[in-house]
Amino acid sequence: MLDTSAENQRRHDLHPDQPVWLFGYGSLIYKADFPFLARRPASIDGWARRFWQGSHDHRGTPDHPGRVVTLIRAPGNRCAGMAYQVTPDVFQHLDHREKNGYLRVTTRLTFSDGQQQAGLIYLATPDNAAFLGEASEEHIARHIAASHGPSGSNTEYLLQLAEALRQLNVGDEHVFRIEHYLLASAG
């Protein structure tokens, strides 16, 4: 398992008195287990959400990692999610939560009213040790159905993300196809 928490603490010089925008595109949409000053729907351009990252510590185990989302470069694509304005001390918790291969990266957020702001995202790139990579949506659904970790079942993660996207009125073909295959195999 790759623990990126120390690297994330070195990556950004955050001033304690200056709030920061954080963009969530996976479980951060529906599981805000941290204090925030504001919360707004937002999107980032040039990225697509994919279930290509392994989860050895939350939705799987070191021997049988689950699958969670990361972002891949996708020119012309827009990834919608939720932005949170947080104080820098919140990153101590978030860096631990996102430690399995995710690094904090600066990006430009676009809010639903068109305003833009610099913000941070947690990104797991293909060169991290937990990256599982591309697979068919049907294969990913079978993998998710068989995975469970300390934070619960991988199925729960997928279903909560799909529901959160619906509540935001966001279409995501990749997530919804995996959900379809998962529910079809369970029924």
Q: CA of 173: how far to CAs of 77, 134, 140, 166, in Å?
A: 12, 15, 14, 12
Q: How many domains does the chain have?
A: 1
Instruction: Measure the CA–CA gap between 160 and 41, rounded to whole angstroms.
Output: 17
Cβ atoms within 10 Å, residue 17: 7
As annotated, the active-site residues are 98
Output the domain CATH number for residue 123.
3.10.490.10
Domain assignment of residue 119, given as a range: 5-186
**Per-position pLDDT tens, the chain of length 187:** 478 878 868 777 778 889 999 999 999 999 999 999 999 999 999 999 999 999 999 999 999 999 999 999 999 999 999 999 999 999 999 998 998 989 999 999 999 999 999 999 999 999 999 999 999 999 999 999 999 999 999 999 999 999 999 999 999 999 999 999 999 987 6
Residue type, 24: G
Instruction: Measure the CA–CA gap between 3 and 34, rounded to whole angstroms.
Output: 20
Instruction: Measure the CA–CA gap between 53 and 34, rounded to whole angstroms.
Output: 23
